[in-house]
Amino acid sequence: MPTRRNRFSVTWLVGIGVVWGVGLSWPSTVQAGWGTWPVVYIVGSGSTGQQAASQIVSGDPLAQTPASKAVAAQAALAQPSGPSRSALGMVDWAVLAGYFLLLLALTWYSVRKSRDTADDYFLAGRHLGWLIVGASIFSSNIGSEHLVGLAGSGCTDGVAMAHYELHAWCLLVLAWVMVPFYCRSMVFTMPEFLERRYSATARWVLSIISLVAYILTKIAVGIFAGGVVFRTLLPELRLEVAGYVFDSFWIGSVLVILFTGLYTVLGGLRAVAYTEALQTLVLIIGSVLVTVYGLAELGGWQQLREAPYPGSQWEAGYNEGFNLWKPLIPKEMDGKKVEGTWAPVREELERDGQKVIRMAWYFNGNYPWLGMLFCAPIIGLWYWCTDQYIVQRALGAPSEREARRGSIFAAYLKLLPVFIFIIPGMICFALASRGYPGLSHLVDESGRAIAERCQAAFPLMVAHVLPIGVRGIVVAGLLAALMSSLAGVFNASSTLFTMDFYQKFQPSATQHQLVWIGRLATTVMVLIGLAWVPVIQGARGLYDYLQSVQGYLAPPIFVVFFFGVFNKRLNAKGCLAALIVGFALGIFRLAVDTPVALKLSGFEQGYPPGSFLWIVNQIYFQYYSLLVFLVSLGVMFLVSYLTEPPPEGRIRGLTFGTLTEEDRVRSRASWGWGEVMASLVVVGAIVAAYLYFNG
């Protein structure tokens, strides 16, 4: 029998689910024609985003509120010629209703099984099987920033960002290198593992870094991407509160937060993991449908190979959009020849009657091969092997064997995003270049993709390419991605705050108190994340923003984890110095970039050209990330070797150099040749992708 607390929780779940469904699917007008699917029109006050924008320009006093200005700016930017009515039919709404009923059923089941203990709430009682672990890892990773950001990146730059999506090998590193250490230590959080390896101070510093990273990336990005999806699919949904007008961007964001936050708060990691397993299936099916229908509309794969990306050489059979390895300096920008230099300049010159751009090679932000080769793996290994957001699923496994198998399964799933997220974005660009209805506004007069508008590439494909009936499945996949990513970071944030801070200051806290403090921490993180949405809007692209912030914060964490496992001589003082110095360098870069991204007063044109801050702001984020990595690594080794080594008894079993024979035997018994062969298949698939995507 469920407890009184669980019955109360379930009642609220059902209530919120009903409100969610009614709020989204309440039609004001339903039209049905002979031989056509019925279409639901969701009408607000009768003004689309474009109309709101024109009202502000014309000086309409009813539009002069901060919220309505945000509505107009966002709608005009991302959907200047999008649909003026809901893109969903009655069949689509029925599919969505079924999806949410399944989510409610899974959450109900999770709440009924839950116990009011920290181990159960934060790690699902360590009872997650490998299938749930792998699906949950993938679903947490493939969030809104992928659906919106990766498709947008594919639309503007082709497969350039596929480097990050071919990081399935990083999950193999998690499975074979890091999982044994995590399982032996039986920790709740990654900072707790750092305390075992180094010191309590290192644990607190990493917890702060992680929470800041979640605020700057995962929470804010998830909220913003959810708003982009709702604004594209339900453009006329509007709400006026006390004179402030909110469009579907903000309404959708708030609804996603409320529903996701509710089942995360009530069910903990168990509810998150079980719902993510369902969301993985829905997400994959929906995204595959977008790729299939998009290719059919385009005319097949060969037509996609001929998409007119700038820099392509058709006579040589070369397509810039299919090239993973971009040059250090592009041959041309905006139709002008580019010359590289070591001097910190970005200037336009005229030579022989032609305009030439002279630019420092380290200013080039078109995904140059040097940064992708050396920086992307640093970010990937940090994210997949040391980030609480991901590793918490493996910590919820009952054994090293289940955690390893789950990580390998997640590696297989991680091979999919190139084809189900980036390729749809490339299809969208190819269709837009042909003047496809509803997509043509994504390219300018010269045929180049407009980065800001391309952020809506994936939902625009849903609205304009898919038939009624199929759209509901894909929208369910979109919502699955939005909710799974937010649920994962909510749970990870509450675990970090509760176990690494609150429990340290209140060691006598009861299990019940720990659970409720975690719920309170989640709410605070959401409110802070909302405040960062304007910063993301100013960035070049959603996925670019995410990778750049992670590039600034990831290197010192990568250094202390990986080098700490492989080198037993590194000590607590070296770890702390590396974290502080690396984190300071990352925050400095964010402080330099943020005023320019927000276009604050006095920074509309950036910093004065040639000044120190201008140079820092212009350096491509991957190169700056490499600088942070090298500085952090040097500081850690220097400080560690200038001070006393750590006591070997303290770090026994936490480094390769201090493993006991019993540790080795137990770990060897947890895997067989099946796991080895499965891992080799993943590596082979990655190599094949790199060989194919060379232009």
Sign of the torsion angle spanned by Cα atoms 604, 607, 613, 617 = positive
CB under 8 Å to 620, separation ≥6 — which residues? Answer: 362, 363, 364, 365, 368, 371
pLDDT at 531 over 80: no
Dmax (CA) for the chain in angstroms is: 84
Q: Average model confidence (pLDDT) for the chain? A: 78
Q: Which helix (H) or strand (E) segment is 239 a member of?
A: strand 238-241
Contact 648, 570 (CB under 8 A): no
Confidence category of residue 117, pLDDT binned at 50, 70, 90: low
Nearest-angstrom CA–CA distance, 143 and 147: 7
Exposed, middle or buried: residue 647 (CB in 10 Å: 0-12, 13-18, 19+)? exposed
Contact 564, 570 (CB under 8 A): yes
pLDDT at 664 over 70: yes
Exposed, middle or buried: residue 38 (CB in 10 Å: 0-12, 13-18, 19+)? middle
pLDDT at 154 over 80: yes
Task: Give which of 149, 35, 34, 29 is closest to 84, Cα–Cα.
Answer: 29
> End-to-end CA distance of the chain, in Å?
61
Contact 137, 641 (CB under 8 A): no
Which CATH architecture describes the domain 4-307+372-533?
Up-down Bundle (1.20)
Contact 416, 285 (CB under 8 A): no
Contact 404, 132 (CB under 8 A): no
Angle at 463 between CA 45 and CA 166, to 5 degrees: 130
Average pLDDT of span 146-152: 78
Distances (CA, A) of 132 to 100, 125, 570: 19, 14, 36
Contact 310, 448 (CB under 8 A): yes
Could you state, in order of their start, the residue ranges of all structural domains in the chain?
4-307+372-533
Most confident of 64-73, 173-182, 497-506: 173-182
Name 240's bridge partners.
245
In 625-634, which positions are buried (b, 16+ CB within 10 angstroms) versus exposed (e)?
Answer: bbbbbebbbe
Q: What is the pLDDT of residues 613-639, one digit of tens each?
A: 999 999 998 999 999 999 999 999 999
Reported pTM = 0.78
CB under 8 Å to 46, separation ≥6 — which residues? Answer: 236
Q: What is the pLDDT of residues 436-488, one digit of tens each?
A: 888 888 888 877 888 878 878 888 888 888 888 888 887 787 777 777 777 77
DSSP-based three-state secondary structure for 244: strand
Nearest-angstrom CA–CA distance, 220 and 225: 9
Exposed, middle or buried: residue 694 (CB in 10 Å: 0-12, 13-18, 19+)? exposed
Confidence category of residue 569, pLDDT binned at 50, 70, 90: very high
Q: Which of 36-45, 89-98, 196-205, 246-255 has the lowest mean pLDDT?
A: 36-45
Ordered alpha helix ranges (H), 498-642: 503-505, 511-530, 533-538, 542-558, 564-566, 572-598, 612-618, 621-642
φ and ψ at residue 197, rounded to 5 degrees: -80, -35
Contact 627, 378 (CB under 8 A): no
Task: Give which of 552, 619, 535, 611 is closest to 587, Cα–Cα.
Answer: 552
Structure tokens at 645: 């080594």
Nearest-angstrom CA–CA distance, 513 and 117: 9
Average pLDDT of span 53-78: 32
Nearest-angstrom CA–CA distance, 477 and 99: 9
Average pLDDT of span 650-673: 91
Nearest-angstrom CA–CA distance, 171 and 404: 9
Q: How many residues does the chain have?
A: 695
**What's the confidence (pLDDT) of residue 534?**
58
pLDDT at 12 over 70: no
Which position has the higher pLDDT, 209 or 373? Answer: 373
Q: What is the DSSP letter of 336?
A: E
Average pLDDT of span 133-140: 86
Q: What is the pLDDT of residues 258-278, one digit of tens each?
A: 777 777 777 677 777 777 777
Nearest-angstrom CA–CA distance, 401 and 380: 23
Confidence category of residue 87, pLDDT binned at 50, 70, 90: low
**What's the confidence (pLDDT) of residue 33?**
33
Confidence category of residue 25, pLDDT binned at 50, 70, 90: very low
The type of residue at 133 is: V
Which position has the higher pLDDT, 89 or 607? Answer: 607
Distances (CA, A) of 516 to 57, 65, 520, 666: 48, 37, 6, 37
pLDDT over 90, % of the chain: 23
Within 10 A of 635 (CB to CB), how many other CB atoms are there? 21
Q: What is the pLDDT of residues 383-425, one digit of tens each?
A: 899 988 888 888 888 889 999 999 999 999 999 988 888 999 9
Q: Which of 133-137, 170-174, 517-521 has the lowest mean pLDDT?
A: 517-521
pLDDT at 283 over 70: yes
Q: Which of 62-66, 177-181, 201-205, 627-631 has the lowest mean pLDDT?
A: 62-66
Structure tokens at 528: 């802070």
Q: What is the pLDDT of residues 35-51, one digit of tens each?
A: 333 333 333 333 333 33
> In 260-312, where do the E strands start and end?
none
**What's the confidence (pLDDT) of residue 41?**
33
Structure tokens at 433: 């270049």
Q: What is the DSSP letter of 309?
A: -
**What's the confidence (pLDDT) of residue 124?**
57
Q: Which of 76-85, 536-545, 582-591, 627-636 has the lowest mean pLDDT?
A: 76-85
Structure tokens at 319: 């397509």
Distances (CA, A) of 616 to 606, 612, 628: 11, 6, 13
